[in-house]
Structure 1
Amino acid sequence: MDSKSFKQVGVWIDFSKALLIGYNKGNAELIETIDSPYESIKRIEGEGNDTTRFSPNSEHASNNEYRKNNISHNELNEYFKIMEAKLHGFDDILLFGPGTAKEQLRNRLRENKSFGGKWFSVQPSDKLTNNQLLAFVRDFYDKATP
């Protein structure tokens, strides 16, 4: 099926990737896998620790931490922009997965005026196989629609 034929979508999301599962009339289908540009642990080749040059004391940290945090924030922002573009054509959006990425994405989508008339649901979930992902979305929408 074409992704344009789905109006309901389930999104399994964490900070490393997102899986879009379309749902239509009892049929759940994996539409797309989106890899995240976000890396939680950064290590630059040849980089030492985050202490200053003249002091091995960890209380004298360098400005490296601020720069790393800024890079991580920008990568996460880019990831959520990609997700916004992918989810724009859907009316009902189910966000599920481990961690806090699903809540962060929901909050960002709610702030976006173009998602004003959309329906969101956030559900906790562990890591699942592809068949379990399809079953999770199918079961959720089967219970949600009369």
Structure 2
Amino acid sequence: MSAYHPNDQEIIRKTYLQRGPCQPTQHNFPQRRIGNLMRRFCSSWFNEFGNWLEYSIEKDAAFCLCCYLFRPDFGKQSGGDTFVTDGFTSWNKKAKLASHVGGPNYYVHNIAWKKCEDLMNQNQHIQVVISKQSEKTRDMYLR
């Protein structure tokens, strides 16, 4: 998101959120060897983590939509860049998906999720709040 001009980021974020996470449920997910077993992304994970989990066919990796949109700068907590830029590919470690959301002492995902909710709640938008104020108050604020 940081590559976009700051004046454009809100509308771009809103567009992403309106479209929802990319979840190609009918895709034939490729297998890769992890340890001695062949593993792949499981589309059933969309049912458990559907409000944020997305999958990139190009990268064969999973990502977090809300952390991508509101990329926190809190270091490598619970995956750090894994769910934002690198992509999650440890198909044998489904528990990492749950820990991304709320592992011990982890709140970064939840902050990003709250920012997504706030963006989509137009009643909280500053322009809406100002327009609801009286003309006198609005004039004082805009001076």
Q: How does the TM-score come out when normalised to structure 2?
A: 0.21
Q: How does the TM-score come out when normalised to structure 1?
A: 0.21
More strand by share: 1
Greater relative contact order structure (CA < 8 Å, 6+ sep): 1
